[in-house]
Amino acid sequence: PELAAGPEGAAPADASAAGEQSGTAQNGPAPANFTEQVALGQRLYGAKCASCHGSSGEGTGDAPRVVGLKDGALPLEPPADRKFRKSEFKTVMDVGAFVVANMPPNQGGSLSTEEYFSILAFDLKANGIDLGDKKLDAELAKTLTIPR
C-alpha cells in the first residue's frame, strides 16, 4: 500500500520512500489480514516502540500514551508540549502518516510499509478496535476515524 502524505505532508509521498519491502524485516511473508498484522505488530511494538511508549502503550516520560483512548491516547489536537507532533489525528491514516515520518525517533521511514501498518493494527487492537478479516492499508486507514 502507498502511504500518502498527511494534511501537513507528514509522510513520504510514496511507499518506497517509506522503506517499503515486499515482506518484513523478519523476511517472512507479508501479513494477509488484520489478525496477522496484529501478531507482527505486537512483536515490532516490543522491539521498536515499547522502550519509549511503555510495554503496554501507557506512555512514559519520553513519549505519550498510545493505548487508552479514554485516558488520553491519540488526542485529536497535538498537545502543546510535544516535540514532534504538530497535526491533528482525525483518522488512522493521520496517525500513520505521522508515525512513518517520525518514528522511531530520528529514524522515520526506516521500517517497511507492512511493518508500520502492522504496528498500527496492533495499536488499534489494543484500543479495542478489531477489523476482522480486513487488512489495514492506506485506503482503509483513510476511512477509519479515531473514536473520541
The residue among 135 and 2 whose pLDDT is bigger is 135
Residue 84, pLDDT score:
84
Residue 148 pLDDT greater than 50, yes or no: yes
Give residue-wise pLDDT tens across range 7-35.
333 333 333 333 334 445 556 889 999 99
DSSP state at residue 146? P
Whole-number pLDDT of residue 26: 55
Judged by phi (left if over 0) then psi (alpha if -120 to 50, else beta), residue 68 lies in: left
Over residues 52-80, the pLDDT tens digits come to 999 999 999 989 999 999 999 999 999 88
pTM over 0.95: no
pLDDT tens digits along 92-141: 999 999 999 999 999 999 999 999 999 999 999 999 999 999 999 999 99
Closest CA to 67 of 40, 94, 95, 88: 95
